Chains A and B, each alone.
Chain A
Amino acid sequence: MIDATASSKVCYTASNIKEALSLIRRGRVYAAVIIPHSFEADIVSGVTTKVALYNSGANISTNGFIAKDIQSVVTTFGAGIELQRGATLAEVMPIKFNKHILFNPYLNYAYYIAPCFMSMMTMIFTLLATVYAVAERRCSRATELMSRVAPTTLIMSIFSLITLLVLFRILGVPLVGSKWAIVFSTLFFIVVYQAIAILFVGITKSRHFSLSLGGGYSVLAFTFSGLTFPTMAMFPPLKWASYLFPFTYYMDVLVDQTLRGSSSINTIESIGYMSLFLLLPLLIRKRLC
């Protein structure tokens, strides 16, 4: 029955717990199911028997899949025997629940990590390329600054539109919301990170230093977006820090539009927050030109 589950497969039979633990430590298996000697005798004689699952917590994603699979195997197995003994379904399981998955019903990790991953790349390259272009030397006028920023805007826009095409047309990431909302927010996202790049150039002395700083900032965005570990569970100062990354708002837009199909008001709100970052270069305009 375990082999019939969605994610688990029996690969080894161990003679005792120690051997099973050793298999886990060697990375051969993620979990061990312990079935006692008296298993069959207990069932035949109508005594409650015991089954234990030793599940490695070192990887919580495998842990979750295995826990769910084994739990459902045990429940189905037990219910089957009780029904054979003549119990009614209502006695075995007085409350049943129906699960409805509202968003991302495919439970596909890739649908959710791929857009995020591509956006990380867009963000990192936009930020670094803009720093690289702007930090060369001081601009004499704002228009000169613009002309140095513009090629990056153009190239990254084309790049991001191609990635969007790949994501939705080739990889088949669902798109339940508006595609124009995604296109607009993606292009806006690029410009916002360019504004941040300009800020980094303005506050640092050398190009190399602003690249390191900008790079550090962009890599952190992934954690602070709360996609993997929700910001809700972070300590308040770190939760507030997550508002300092436009990536967070952009991810909200992506999740809203690709998986949830929520109304555009939520998206407009996120874009509104993102636009505040456009004001940042104004803070250091004296140092730039």
Chain B
Amino acid sequence: MLKTIALECKIIFKNGGVVLILILAPIIYATLYSSCYAKQVLERVPIAIVDNSHSHSSREFISYLSASPYLNPLYTATDITEAKELFYNRKIYGIVYIPKSYETEIIRGQQAVVSLYCDASYFLMYRQVFQGVVGVISTFNREIGIEPVVDFRSHNLFNPYLGYGTFIMPAILVVILQQTLLMGIGVVGGIWSRRQLYKGKSVMQTIVSKAIVYGAIYAVIAAYILTIHYRIFGYPTNGTIWTCIAIIFPYILSVILLAITLSTLYKRPETAVICTLWTSIPILLLSGASLPPEAFPHWMHTIGKIIPSSSAVTAFIRAQSMGADITDVGVEVIRLWALVAIYGTTSYLALKKRMSGRTTKSRTSNLSSYNDRHTLL
């Protein structure tokens, strides 16, 4: 078995492409994505104001808008057409229209109407503009209106400033681990296939050796992400280390076993890259981390459960961001162990089939001539 472990390590570390995918990619991706979202909150979205009232009250209202952390009244337009032009040129993402009658209505004790034109083609922009204006108007109403019946307080748990990175990165990090493992093990599987290493090896020994090698590498990477990376970007660490391990351990193991199963299908290393790469975004969506599972068809969500990341993402977010303990994520952990059993079986069967040696003569000769040309890989 030590021989198989040594062989696997040799293939990984002697090959720049594999090191890039398996070891550097998770760290590069994690850092790049986190840096993109490092500012967390979209602040001061530029908007235009069309003030037809030109009054003391309207100016006061505008000063409130300027004070909102979400809004930046960058432009003053004379009419809606002018403001719309700014919209099309992506200079602004919202228009606040104050009608001519604004001040007179307030003085007369009538209800004044302000119009908000917003853009829902970018959801975060829409949300910030909408929230900003609604916030200003309700503050205003509280000040000049009568005391409300209900004093409403809204508290955001676990992510008080609703940071985008804090929301999406835990899910992305979990998915990155899976995708790079699938791709990396797939590429190595392609190399095995090309060099015909499957011949004369024991199935169990191969699975165990591969699991040890990749498990060890990914234990280090996962530890790096959970400690140093989390610290650098300030993501919530409300979970205990043991809960995290209880999730990550079966997760990595099930991914490795799934990857071994798939890797037997690749005849060339490149195929693994092509077959895995495009799946990243669908898999992230299926995990239900960005769009809640309630928002897409039920069958999709159910089918998604065969992918380890779907259970791991939700369990990990609940543990690490919300501080859930092991009993709260018990269902997901059990599901991950079930996946370990399933993919353990499939990898055994797939390897057994692969090792029974059904490589055709023509393919072998093709591959060896291909090998001559690409000795590097």
A residues with a Cβ closer than 8 A to B are: 21-22, 24-27, 30, 43, 48-64, 67, 70-71, 74-75, 77-78, 81-82, 87-105, 107, 109, 112-113, 117, 120-121, 124-125, 128, 132, 137, 205-209, 211-213, 215-216, 218-220, 222-224, 226-230, 232-235, 238, 252, 255-256, 259-260, 262-263, 266
Contacts and interface: CB of A to CB of B under 8 A. Distances in A.
Nearest to B40: A233
Q: What 3 A-B pairs are tightest by C-beta distance, nearest first?
A: A57-B159, A25-B324, A262-B88
B148 interface: yes
B157 A90 contact: no
B125 A266 contact: no
A15 B156 CA distance: 20
A128 B273 contact: yes
B361 to A, nearest CB: 23
Contacts of A109: 123, 291, 295
Contact of B280 (A208, A219, A255, A262): A219
Nearest to B133: A97
Contact of B323 (A25, A62, A101): A25
A181 to B, nearest CB: 14
A102 B122 CA distance: 11
Interface in B104-158: 106, 109-127, 130, 133-134, 137-138, 140-141, 144-158
Contacts of A63: 156, 159, 162
Given A25-B323, A60-B159, A117-B281, A128 B274 contact: yes
Contact of A97 (B116, B163, B270, B324): B116
A99 B166 contact: no
A50 B126 CA distance: 29
Given A49-B150, A96-B114, A109-B295, 9 more contacts: A51-B151, A52-B153, A60-B159, A63-B156, A125-B278, A213-B20, A235-B39, A256-B88, A260-B87
28 contacts: A25-B325, A26-B328, A50-B152, A53-B154, A54-B155, A57-B160, A58-B166, A59-B167, A59-B290, A63-B162, A70-B152, A70-B154, A82-B149, A95-B137, A95-B144, A98-B115, A99-B116, A101-B118, A102-B84, A103-B119, A103-B120, A208-B187, A208-B270, A211-B274, A213-B20, A215-B273, A218-B277, A234-B38
Interface in B173-214: 187
A235 B147 CA distance: 42
B338 interface: no
B112 A95 contact: yes
Nearest to A56: B157
B42 interface: yes
B33 interface: yes
A239 to B, nearest CB: 9
Given A50-B153, A62-B292, A103-B120, A238 B146 contact: no
B62 interface: no
B277 A219 contact: yes
B71 interface: no
Interface residues of B, number: 104
Contact of A90 (B45, B111, B130): B111
B113 A98 contact: yes
Interface stretch (B1-9, B219-227, B301-309, B314-322): B314-322
A120 B281 CA distance: 9
Contacts of A220: 29, 32
Nearest to B176: A219
Interface of B: 16-17, 20-21, 25, 28-29, 32-33, 35-39, 41-43, 45, 61, 84, 87-90, 106, 109-127, 130, 133-134, 137-138, 140-141, 144-164, 166-168, 187, 269-270, 273-274, 277-278, 280-282, 289-292, 295, 314, 317-318, 321-325, 328-329, 373-374, 376-377
A103 B328 CA distance: 41
Given A60-B159, A109-B291, A233-B42, A48 B148 contact: yes
A82 B16 CA distance: 71
Given A54-B157, A95-B111, A95-B114, A215 B277 contact: yes
Contacts of A117: 281-282
A91 B291 contact: no
Contact of B144 (A94, A212, A233, A262): A94
Given A91-B146, A98-B115, A208-B17, A30 B292 contact: yes
Q: Which of B61, B112, B149, B168 has most chain A Cβ within 10 Å?
A: B149
Contacts of B376: 205-206
A22 B146 contact: no
Contacts of A234: 36-39
Q: Which of A58, A218, A228 has most chain B Cβ within 10 Å?
A: A58
A87 to B, nearest CB: 6
A206 B17 contact: yes
Contacts of B161: 57
A56 B158 contact: yes
Contact of A263 (B36, B88, B145): B88
B39 A233 contact: yes
B112 A48 contact: no
A89 B105 CA distance: 13
A183 B350 CA distance: 44
A155 to B, nearest CB: 14
Given A124-B277, A212-B273, A235 B116 contact: no
A59 B323 CA distance: 14
A48 B183 CA distance: 59
A92 B109 CA distance: 11
Contacts of B21: 212
Nearest to A233: B42
Given A60-B159, A223-B36, A100 B292 contact: no
